Amino acid sequence: VQLQASGGGLVQAGGSLALSCAASGSLYSINHMGWYRQGSGETRLLVAVILANGSTNYADSVKGRFAISRDNAKNTVYLQMNSLKPEDTDVYYCSADLRATIDGPLRRDWGQGTLVTVSS
């Protein structure tokens, strides 16, 4: 299974970016999908997660500014980032808790990371 993230880039403070991440390959089911952020030498931190039933959870720092969504038919998760701040600058990673086969273990796969830079 491959998770391919896209959509990062450079934006001015107050601007918006949209990230997407598509899972492909031999795949049976996906449970949670999420976005995390990680700075150099830092711990990877949860930004937002969306469950298979559509329930969502956000880090306090992004509530009201970011919105996570998913398209189950496309095995894709999105992150709409609005009102961006310089402190949002980081590498963003998508994740999927999935089973590759019907009797396989539940595991967490990661995308390759996409850089978001917010200038002041």
Each residue's pLDDT tens digit, 27-67: 999 999 999 999 988 999 999 999 999 999 999 999 999 99
Closest CA to 51 of 36, 67, 30, 37: 30
Instruction: Tell me whether strands 17-24 and 29-38 are parallel, antiparallel or unpaired.
Output: unpaired
Give the mean model confidence (pLDDT) for residues 93-101.
96
In the predicted model, what is the mean pLDDT of the chain?
Answer: 96
Q: Please tell me the predicted confidence (pLDDT) of residue 57.
A: 98
